[in-house]
Amino acid sequence: MEQIPNNNQDEKIVDNDLQPKDINYYSQVCVIQGMTLGDLDAEGFKQYVADKFDGVRVNFLEEVKTNPDLDSEGEAVPDTGGRNDIFFNVHTDDIPRFAVKRLGWCKWWEDVHYNQQTFLYPQEILNKYPKTW
C-alpha cells in the first residue's frame, strides 16, 4: 500500500475522527484510494497536498477501511476489502485549479457515487459525507 512520503519522522498518525474546522469553506470531499498517511499528521497531510498542488488548501477528514468487493450476485468476494482510503476536502476557492491536476491521484466523492462504488464504504461514511452535486 502506498504511503505519503514524510520528511518529519516525529509526526504522529492522525486520529480517524478528525473533522474540518469549517465545512462551509471546504465543500468538495475527495478520496485517495489505497493510500495511508504513514507518519504524517493532519497538518503534514495538508502541507503535502499544498506542496504537490501549488498551494491548494485541504482539510484531512479521516482514513477509512473499505468493505469487500461484491460479485455479480451481490455477495462479498473473499480476500477483498480492508484497503485504506484517505478522505479529505478541498477549499471551495481552490477547486477550479485542483480539478484537472487531481486526475489520476484522487477521486471526487461524487465519482464514487456515480460509479456505483458506495458499497465499498461503511454506512456511517455514506451518512457522514453525502454527495453534494
In a domain, 97, yes or no: yes
Rounded CA gap, 12 and 45, in Å?
11
In a domain, 31, yes or no: yes
> Residue 11: its pLDDT value, please?
36
If you ran DSSP here, which 8-state letter would residue 30 be given? E
In a domain, 65, yes or no: yes
Domain holding 62, by residue range, is 26-128
The number of residues making up the chain comes to 133
Helix, strand, or coil (residue 123): helix
17-33: per-residue pLDDT in tens?
Answer: 434 455 568 989 999 99
Rounded CA gap, 129 and 63, in Å?
13
pTM confidence score: 0.80
Least confident of 7-21, 53-67, 105-119: 7-21
Rounded CA gap, 132 and 44, in Å?
27
- How many domains would you assign to the chain? 1
In a domain, 86, yes or no: yes
In a domain, 16, yes or no: no
